Amino acid sequence: MSAPTLAPERPVPMSFIIMAAVAIHLPLLLMQLPLKSYDTNFHIFFASHYVHHWFDPWNPKWFAGFSQTTYPPLPQQWTALLSYIFGLNMAYMAVQFVGIVLLAVGVYRFSELWVSPRAASYAALASVFLGSESFLVYSAGQLSTTLAAPIYLNALPYFYRWLRSGSWRSFLKASILLVTAAAAHHATLLFGSAFFALPVCALVVMDARSSEDPEKTSVAALLIRLVSLALVAGAAIAVVLLPFWIGLIHNPVTQTPIPHPSRANFLLSPEWGVNYFVVPYGALILAVPFIVMRGSSVVRLRPLMIGFWAAFLVGLGGTTPVAHLLLGRAFDVLTFERFSYWATLLCLPILGSIIATLVDRFRLKALIPIAGLAAATCALAVSWSTFRPADASNFSVDSVALWLNRDGHDQYRYITLGFGNKLSRLAIQTNANSVDGESNSSRALPELTEFGGAALTSSKYFGKPGLDSLRAMLNHADRYGLKFVIVRDPYYAPLLYFAGWRQVDALDDRTVTIWSKDGVPPATPMNASDRPTHMQGILWGTLPVGFSLLAILVVFLPEEKLRNGWATEQPYLYYDLVAGGATS
């Protein structure tokens, strides 16, 4: 065994890390693999509305009319903007690709706060292979989460620098990036504050109390800076997402919780444990004990490790009582794969530090298995959308869209049954409006909110609550001008038959049947009281994108180096050796 070296080695160049991201993810995105995921079509549907109605977030195509201000708009608006060049599908892939590249950069910059630049570079490289990232991109299709987190990670170094040094440029950059992250996904900022920002605050306090701190920042100064940033960023977020808050106050989330398997106990339901633990974590599961040991051993890493541990426990969903105790009723509303995603991001700096130690000690003997495990983790998560696809069958909705668009059929509303995530794809292509939809937080119709089922098109997967919701909607077809039910799953035929619907047409070699109800009046505009005002539409169409453009501009403002004289490499080397011994 070769002796450990104390000589600091060079970090992996950022250009190499970005090339790795390009090499792995760009082909997959060019193949449009995320289109198979659960939510990708939903984001593209939102984007398609922004393409045609940039300043009018009222979308009549779902839920008999709903406001898109119920969901932070930034990723979809960027998709809409880029669609003028690439088309909607490829624009989505482009935005997602930016998120992946920003993640590598963000992880590097965030890790630099905690560990040496070299360890940070390993962390950034690891982010390219991260199972949770690939799981969210290719299986879940969570564009907003995977775009907001990198922006947030990129904001945190400025946040740290503002607290430490009081640099007004850092204040400006941190504020604008935080607001941009909120415009991409509000939940990331809300929970990120606890999991990401609190450890950074603790780090600032620890560094400020360090004898090596030349500036000797007082606790009072730190508090004033923290509060001022929180106030300014909070106020800006309140304004930028004002239509969202107005909508939330007007229609608070009171709907019956919809079951989600990320809330299962992964030991009692191992199939969900594989989906929400094994696949997102991959080989990181092997590293978790060492991450805890390293994070505990190095004093400076403790806040980060505790942040990781908290996110890890919450990400286990119903496996532990922690998430339920911490979140209360929100436990039944939130989904927990994003907490696992944040946990994996939080542990990356410590993982980078462990990898640096192992590579120092064992060189290729360490590097080869680590690279192999990283590749296997990424491969499993990418291929998971094939092993466990959101939709078992891929089919075109072109013929259904054509049918709805002809002969005045679009004067009535429709629902689909058995269309899965093609519901959004159909909504993009047809002029007709539906009472169904995929954005659960945007629903207001009592037939959808009172039972605990998600989209009607997949109601059978939600058991009795889902079918009760479907029956209630069919029973009130007259109220909503719901005249057509488009069926791709014969399971539903007996219900339609006994409830007075008649099959009137069949498409695609009779794999799709169209059912109609007599005496239903044409659809009329509904939910008018929920419609955002013109001013809200203007705000929604300008501020989120405006802040993102501002963020792009301000990050290019020159800044002093992140690591000042008070932060030396020496502590990392010392602790790398001590904890590295335990690791090896």
Partner 1 sequence: MKRGMSLAIFIFAATILVVAAGTIWPNASAISYAGGRKGGALGSTSTPQSAVEELGALLKLRATAKAYESLANKAEFAEPEFERDLAGSGLSLRTYATLDSFEVQPLHQSDSDAELLMKMRWSSVVGTFDDTRDLHAIKSGDRWVVQWPLKHQARVPPQVIPVNYLRWDVINRGPGDDWGTQDVEAPHVRIVDMHPVNRAEGVVVMGELLNEDVMPAFVSVRATLVSKDGSVLDSEGAFDMISQTLLPKQVTPFIIHFPGIPLSKVTSIRMDPLSVLVSASADPVVEIENQQYNSGHGAAATGQLTNQSGHAVNVAHVLSTFYDKNGQVVWVAGQYVDRALQPQTPVDFRVPVPQDLADKISAERTIVATYIQGNIQ
Residues that bind partner 1 in the complex, under the rule CB under 8 A:
259-261, 263-265, 267-269, 272, 289, 292-293, 295-299, 302, 305, 309, 313, 316-322, 324, 331-332, 407, 460, 463-464, 467, 471, 474-475, 478-479, 490-495, 497-500, 502-504, 516, 518-519, 578
Give the count of beta carbons closer than 10 Å to the beta carbon of residue 140. Answer: 26
317 φ/ψ sector (left φ>0, alpha ψ -120 to 50, else beta): left
Question: Looking at beta carbons only, is 520 or 538 nearer to partner 1?
Answer: 520
| Residues 29-49 as b or e (16 or more Cβ within 10 Å = b) | beeebbbbbbbbbbbbbbbbb
Q: Hey, which residues does 433 pair with through a beta bridge?
A: 413
- Least distance (Å) between residue 361 CB and partner 1: 18
Question: Looking at beta carbons only, is 289 or 369 nearer to partner 1?
Answer: 289
Question: Looking at beta carbons only, is 297 or 511 nearer to partner 1?
Answer: 297
Q: Phi first, then psi: what are they for 66, rounded to 5°?
A: -150, 165
Q: Are 377 and 277 in contact (CB under 8 A)?
A: no
Question: Looking at beta carbons only, is 297 or 405 nearer to partner 1?
Answer: 297
Of 538, 445, 441, 44, whose CA–CA distance to 242 is shortest? 538
Q: Are 477 and 465 in contact (CB under 8 A)?
A: no
- Least distance (Å) between residue 156 CB and partner 1: 23
Crossing angle between the packed helical segments 143-165 and 168-184, to the nearest 10 degrees? 160
Name the helix (H) or strand (E) containing 503.
Answer: strand 502-507
SS3 395: coil
Name the helix (H) or strand (E) containing 502.
Answer: strand 502-507
Q: Phi first, then psi: what are they for 265, rounded to 5°?
A: -85, 120
- Least distance (Å) between residue 154 CB and partner 1: 29
- Least distance (Å) between residue 336 CB and partner 1: 10
Question: Looking at beta carbons only, is 475 or 533 nearer to partner 1?
Answer: 475
- Least distance (Å) between residue 110 CB and partner 1: 22
63 φ/ψ sector (left φ>0, alpha ψ -120 to 50, else beta): left
| Residues 273-293 as b or e (16 or more Cβ within 10 Å = b) | bebbbbbbbbbbeebbebbbb
- Least distance (Å) between residue 474 CB and partner 1: 7
- Least distance (Å) between residue 299 CB and partner 1: 7
- Least distance (Å) between residue 70 CB and partner 1: 24
Question: Looking at beta carbons only, is 53 or 324 nearer to partner 1?
Answer: 324
d(C-alpha 51, C-alpha 80), whole Å: 5
Name the helix (H) or strand (E) containing 515.
Answer: strand 512-516
- Least distance (Å) between residue 496 CB and partner 1: 9
| Longest Cα–Cα distance in the chain | 85
Q: What does DSSP say about strands 433-434 and 413-417: parallel, antiparallel, or unpaired?
A: parallel
Owner of token pair 């890790």: 111
Question: Looking at beta carbons only, is 508 or 559 nearer to partner 1?
Answer: 508
- Least distance (Å) between residue 59 CB and partner 1: 27
d(C-alpha 130, C-alpha 90), whole Å: 23
DSSP 435: S
Q: Hey, which residues does 482 pair with through a beta bridge?
A: 413
Question: Looking at beta carbons only, is 193 or 265 nearer to partner 1?
Answer: 265
Question: Looking at beta carbons only, is 62 or 266 nearer to partner 1?
Answer: 266
Compute the Cα dihedral for 574, 578, 581, 583 and give only its sign.
Answer: negative
Question: Looking at beta carbons only, is 83 or 416 nearer to partner 1?
Answer: 416
Question: Looking at beta carbons only, is 176 or 310 nearer to partner 1?
Answer: 310
- Least distance (Å) between residue 223 CB and partner 1: 26
